[in-house]
Structure formats: C-alpha cells, structure tokens
Amino acid sequence: MAVQGATAVGFAIVLVLQAGAAALPVAAVLGEAGLFVAAGAAVLGAGVGLVAGRRWARTPAIVTQLLLLPVVYSLIGPSRQLALGIAAGVYVVATFLLLISDRSRAWSLDLDAPR
C-alpha cells in the first residue's frame, strides 16, 4: 500500500513538472496532479498504518485494491499495455490476497493476541 501511495504522489510530481509541455491547459493538469496527491496521500497513509500495526488501515487497503482492478483491466484491454497490466495485476491481486488472508483477518479482529 505504501508503495502504491508513493507511486501516485510521484506521478503527481511528474505531472506538475511537465504541466507546461502538455497539450491540455495547465490548470487541468495541475488539477489532475492535485487529485493524484490527495489519493496518493490517503493510500500512503493506509500503507503506513498497516506497517505500524493499525487495524483501521486494513479496510481502506482492501477497498483500494478492489478499485485498482478496473485500472488493471484498462491496462490489459483497451490500453494494450500488456506487460504493465500483468505486472500491476499481479501486484494488486497479491496485495489483495494478503489483506484477506486468515492471518490478516485474525489480526484485524484482534484474535491473535494471547489471552
């Protein structure tokens, strides 16, 4: 999750740096960059929460992975970027499966703590 959030923030930085060279108006590119910063910061926050052991971070992480599945489909299908789509798909599906595993569920429900 933290890698995904950092990637989104990095993409926003690239957008800002190349805003003048885009065919779109600068305001539109900066608005898109702002959207990526906001979403990336939220995903990065959830990733940091997972690393820190915060149970609240699991649900946003699962929702993020589900929201990324259409992106993977778009990369593989309409965009015809097969290698990138497969790599992203493997990453998203692996992260999703780790988040919904039995051990992850037990941790999130505090069932793994010794009594």
Same domain, 60 and 35: no
Lookup result for tokens 């990369």: 75
Which residues constitute the domain of residue 48?
A: 1-52
Same domain, 59 and 110: yes
Check: CB of residue 41 under 8 Å from CB of residue 2. Answer: no
**Tally of domains in the chain:** 2
Same domain, 79 and 95: yes
Largest CA distance in the chain: 61
**Residue 44 backbone dihedrals phi, psi, to 5 degrees:** -60, -40
Same domain, 44 and 65: no
| SS3 of residue 44 by DSSP | helix
Q: Tell me: the pLDDT tens digits for 19-68?
A: 878 788 888 889 999 999 999 999 999 999 998 888 899 999 999 999 99
CA atoms within 13 A on the CB side of 104: 15
pTM above 0.75, yes or no: yes
Q: Tell me: the pLDDT tens digits for 77-96?
A: 999 999 999 999 999 999 99
Same domain, 78 and 39: no
Same domain, 78 and 106: yes
Say how far apart CA 21 and CA 10 lie, in whole Å.
18
